[in-house]
Chains A and B, each alone.
Chain A
């Protein structure tokens, strides 16, 4: 059979674009790996466990930034998830229809604000507020506790966590809302028909069914928090030390890279690339898990067990 002119070519042409994207994905990993080679050869796995980062002596260890990243990201999640899920419940289940659209639209606009702008606002509005407000409070009244010790500088773990929380809130809210919306109306009516209040319907039916998907949303938010560079570097204090308190200045993987990059050469540059590789791997894994979880919810709902016309 003679294929019409250009038909096969068309498919190959479009497929080529798809292949290009795959090649891109693989290349990113390989290229960063290649750039990190000198650092891998110099430090090996010990890189992840060494605590000293000293460009002068060309000694590089990732521990302070890894701790900084984990602490700020987890704090951001702890703040943003309850807030985000509650907001999603309101927007999805409770709000009257005339509020729903404008309110969701507003929350989505939050997601569109660029990271530097969050950073600028954080630096000039949030940081001074923390320095004289909550930070001052913690220093004066709870400063004897290890978690709250230290001078209240404004910049530090607390500021970074708050900014990150604001940045991931819209993601968590939007996805949680989609997940909850997917809970079928038959199940909602079933529990109402038993005599439940609206809140009981949410807590006993919608939330349990949405649990897995909301975990996925949380992981997506975590992924974003882990990789956030500009906003964090502007408010975290850029001190490459292991943070001991909410008020400590600190550094995350992303903020360190952005901070030291312009002046980095040779081994330092390679070490930064190795940090980048680590970040790539972690965010990759987190995102894969997130997408898997989000997909599992819709799969389970579509394939509720038990044949409807089956045998006894």
Chain B
């Protein structure tokens, strides 16, 4: 069941440097919310706060609330393992496990969480590969290493891998940044499909992409959310002059 992701007063520090300053954001369920803005302004940091990847690194300090549905996932009681099952992440550079086959890559999450045994395992892996629009291309190559696929295929493999654990939220950090235009288009089609079922939050540098696939947009500059709104509003009638400057290419 997809849930709304709601960021409330989030601030993030790396050491002494404050990267996010009391930001608020609402990513509605079953919609694509795009985070746009110049490099280094905190978009990725915001994304990585949602699945608490910052917890892995000492020196990161976080305050505020992030709600998925009703519960705040930033409090001390949260089960990180379960959180990261519910919130999956697709990275900028596809990162399938090189030591595992295509099949085992998808199955990794299932085995970790004990979600399926044979023969259910095979069914689920196939279902996820189909949903990621990858099945036809790999069905005869399931035993090949995950890294033997092309870039676009690898990214779809990562999406299939994420789908396997039945998440509610998809976080995507510039998923098409290292892909060619055709692969990018296929991934964008996939994202549109995914948004029928999941809450998708995507960081992108590509404004045309944001316009193509997202319903909501947030413009982030220097650690602050400058403006949010529906995609049509932001791209035709941005309210803040800084947003306007970024969109027309005068900034960033």
Contacts and interface: CB of A to CB of B under 8 A. Distances in A.
Contact of A307 (B85, B109, B113, B150): B150
A300 B148 CA distance: 12
A153 B217 CA distance: 79
B97 A190 contact: yes
Contacts, number: 105
B150 A310 contact: yes
B95 interface: yes
Contacts of A191: 97, 108, 112
Contacts of B85: 194-195
Interface string A200-229: 100011001100000000000000000000
B1 interface: no
A1 interface: no
Given A190-B95, A196-B81, A312 B137 contact: yes
Contacts of B99: 205, 208-209
A197 interface: yes
B56 A189 contact: yes
B98 A209 contact: yes
Contacts of B58: 96-97
A97 B112 CA distance: 28
Interface in A271-312: 300-301, 304-312
B205 interface: no
A97 B178 CA distance: 33
B162 interface: yes
A187 interface: yes
Interface on chain B toward A: helix, strand, loop, or mixed SS?
helix
A194 B208 CA distance: 30
B189 to A, nearest CB: 13
B67 to A, nearest CB: 19
B150 A311 contact: yes
Contact of B81 (A97, A195, A204, A304): A195
Nearest to B150: A310
Given A193-B89, A195-B83, A204-B112, A306 B149 contact: yes
Contacts of B158: 190
B183 interface: yes
Given A186-B91, A194-B84, A312 B186 contact: yes
A308 B152 CA distance: 7
A187 B93 contact: no
Interface residues of B, number: 44
B182 interface: yes
Interface in B141-166: 145, 147-154, 158, 161-162, 165
B94 interface: yes
B152 A312 contact: yes
Given A205-B97, A208-B99, A312-B183, A190 B149 contact: no
Nearest to A308: B151
Contact of B98 (A193, A204, A304, A308): A304
Interface string A76-105: 000000000000000000001100000000
A12 interface: no
A194 B164 CA distance: 9
Given A305-B145, A308-B178, A312-B186, A193 B150 contact: no
Nearest to B153: A312
A192 B51 CA distance: 10
B179 interface: yes
B81 A197 contact: yes
Given A193-B162, A307-B150, 18 more contacts: A97-B58, A184-B95, A188-B56, A189-B89, A193-B51, A193-B88, A194-B84, A194-B161, A194-B162, A194-B165, A195-B165, A305-B98, A306-B154, A308-B93, A308-B179, A309-B178, A310-B152, A312-B137
7 contacts: A96-B58, A187-B97, A195-B165, A305-B98, A305-B145, A308-B94, A311-B182
8 shortest interchain CB distances as A-B pairs: A195-B85, A195-B84, A310-B150, A308-B151, A193-B89, A305-B147, A186-B95, A194-B109
Interface of B: 51, 53, 56, 58, 80-85, 88-89, 91, 93-99, 108-109, 112-113, 137, 145, 147-154, 158, 161-162, 165, 178-180, 182-183, 186
